[in-house]
Amino acid sequence: MPDASTLSGAADKASLDVAIVGGGLAGLYAIYRLRGMGLRVRAFEAGSGIGGTWFWNRYPGARCDVESLEYSYSFSEDLQQAWKWPERYGTQPEILRYINHVADRFDLRRHVQLNTRVKSALFDADANEWTLRTDKGDVVRARFCVMAAGNLSTPRVPDFKGLQDFRGKWYHSGLWPHEGVDFSGLRVGVIGTGSSGIQMIPIIARQAKHLHVFQRTANFSLPARNAPMEPERERRHKAEYAARRRAAHDTPFAIAGHPKPTRSALEVAPDERKAAYEAKWQEGGSISFLYAYTDLLVNKDANDTASEFVREKIRSIVKDPRTAELLAPKDHPIGTKRLCLDTEYYETYNRDNVTLVDVRSDPIRDITPSGLRTEGGAAFELDAIVFATGFDAMTGALREIDIRTSAGASLADHWAGGPLTYLGLMVAGFPNMFIVTGPGSPGVKTQMIASIEQHTDWIANCLDHMRRQGLDRVEATPEAEADWVQHVNAVADSTLYPLANSWYLGANIPGKPRVFMPYVGGFDRYKRRCDAVVADGYEGFRLTRQAALVA
Ligand code: NAP
């Protein structure tokens, strides 16, 4: 039988029960949960501090677009009662402070090895063990790996010619200098108008001498209506915190408190519909808006009513009609790309020192020593360039690690045509390697921390089951993986999501296979499926004992 308290059966110092890749919200919860089972764990984190996304994305205005009372861990009632969020939406510094508080409160920090990037992971089938190698020369053996490396953690700067000769300074939203950047008096160019660009543009505009925004695709954004936390709202929420967290598990986005829609947008009279959208617009927040009617994400005609409402808002806010028309998205239905939340984004284009440049009709050709130039020959003189150009999402972080098995499989090859997983939790042919909120999971389409907790609890329960049964290997079967991938695609195809060229589809990375990666069937449906798989004896997984290996 395996050692009663560990799963590795070995006791030397280089050997762990579980090696965790990443020291963000997922990695920290994995430490908490798995250490709590008496397992020997260590997390490897490339950053010089914990926090993942919230450690790296320090650009001006970085803020969560899920309300802070929701976007927080639920595993400790004491923690959720004690922590005070000062605003409706948490800023990056607040969220990072919260994460550091959690690490100290639960003594997690000593299990994280900072400044260490995992470069490779090799599964030796005979030894039934993973060997991880890091950029610091560590060689770490572990029975299990938990990949908690993040979905939006591989920043991407487009391959523009001439960047190395640019005389000014340049930045990427996801690699922001810790000391901050003062744009006062500078001519600044921001490239990209996704969530990151839309949050930073109003703030940079207030500092810069002039701001040019280079927009390739207009994005829908709704007002966040951020505000100081109302004490009464906090009190009511906290009084029913546990029940709210449970209720969130029965919703598609893992967020409670939004009444489930009951009617199609096409069932109601135009005036009534407009009034409903207006109420949501005034309330702020994206879930509430997309939850106005049952069919906004599945029926194009229904969606058109909501898309047009927001386009009309943009036209009413932005004074210059040409700029307004450029800002009004027409190439994708609202909600099929991540719906942005902003504070005075559209209003910013009414400032004299802000110019919107359409790089769809006239793309950026190259970066010059003094700015940038378009294909059409227009030249822009810039002192600083900010790339808000996004990430190699969902697969980037894992593909940067050379993941192989002694049977000759490599994750890069297995995923050459797009990511394949079973439940987003495991990859067939890669035993004892779990993924937290990876492709095939609903994670990025939900309140992320709820998904992190649900995935990690599932993994912990699986390991606990194996330990009690004397088992030491778990793997997804190829059939279960194929069925799940087909299901993920079928669900996506029954919605409007594939109509947008989004990072959900890998469309932002030239050459990346165009495969819809998140599971959009909803957190509630996904969790029920995960629970049913366990109830059916881990259906689709093979759990075995490599008896000869176990002392
Ligand atoms: P993003 O949504 O992928 O946006 C990248 C932007 O850069 C797009 O406008 C894209 O245009 C543009 N771009 C890329 N390459 C370009 C090129 N060669 N020339 C011109 N424009 C180019 O990235 P993001 O804004 O960093 O957001 C990523 C995700 O992170 C979000 O969807 C969200 O899930 C998360 N996030 C959340 C928050 C929050 O909680 N509030 C904040 C920031 C980020 P195209 O659309 O034409 O490709």
User: In the chain, what is the greatest distance between 2 CA atoms, to the nearest angstrom?
Assistant: 75
157 lines ligand 1 (CB under 6 A): no
CA-based nearest residue to 546, from 472, 475, 477: 472
Model pLDDT, residue 527: 98
Alpha carbon nearest to ligand 1 atom 48, residue: 508
For 505, left (φ over 0), alpha (ψ -120 to 50), or beta?
alpha
- Look at 4-18, 25-39, 346-360 and tell me which has the smallest mean pLDDT: 4-18
pLDDT digit string (tens) for 227-253?
999 999 999 999 999 999 999 999 999
State the distance between the two ends of the chain, measured CA to CA, in whole angstroms: 7
Q: What is the mean pLDDT of the chain?
A: 95
Model pLDDT, residue 547: 59
72 lines ligand 1 (CB under 6 A): no
Model pLDDT, residue 14: 62
Q: Where in the chain is the domain with CATH 3.50.50.60?
A: 4-154+393-549
Q: Residue 10 pLDDT more than 60?
A: no
Select the more confidently predicted residue: 4 or 224: 224
Which distant-in-sequence residues (6+ apart) come within 8 Å of 502 by Cβ? 332, 336, 337, 338, 508
Rounded to the nearest angstrom, the distance between the alpha carbon of 391 and the centre of ligand 1 is 7
Q: Residue 339 pLDDT more than 80?
A: yes
- pLDDT band for position 549 (50/70/90)? very low
195 lines ligand 1 (CB under 6 A): yes
Average the pLDDT over 506-520 and give the result: 93
The angle subtended at Cα 279 by Cα 276 and Cα 280, nearest 5°, is 90
* pLDDT over 90, % of the chain: 95
- pLDDT band for position 8 (50/70/90)? low
Task: From 175, 196, 366, give the residue whose CB has the most ligand 1 atoms within 8 Å, as the site to mutate.
Answer: 196
Query: Which burial class, exposed, middle or buried, applies to 164 when counting CB atoms under 10 A from its CB (0-12, 13-18, 19+)?
Result: exposed
- pLDDT band for position 111 (50/70/90)? very high
Average the pLDDT over 167-187 and give the result: 97
CA-based nearest residue to 148, from 520, 452, 484: 452
CA-based nearest residue to 327, from 224, 188, 221: 221
503 lines ligand 1 (CB under 6 A): yes
Average the pLDDT over 406-431 and give the result: 97
Task: From 92, 216, 341, give the residue whose CB has the most ligand 1 atoms within 8 Å, as the site to mutate.
Answer: 216
Average the pLDDT over 323-345 and give the result: 97
Q: Residue 444 pLDDT more than 90?
A: yes
Alpha carbon nearest to ligand 1 atom 18, residue: 158
CATH of domain 4-154+393-549: 3.50.50.60
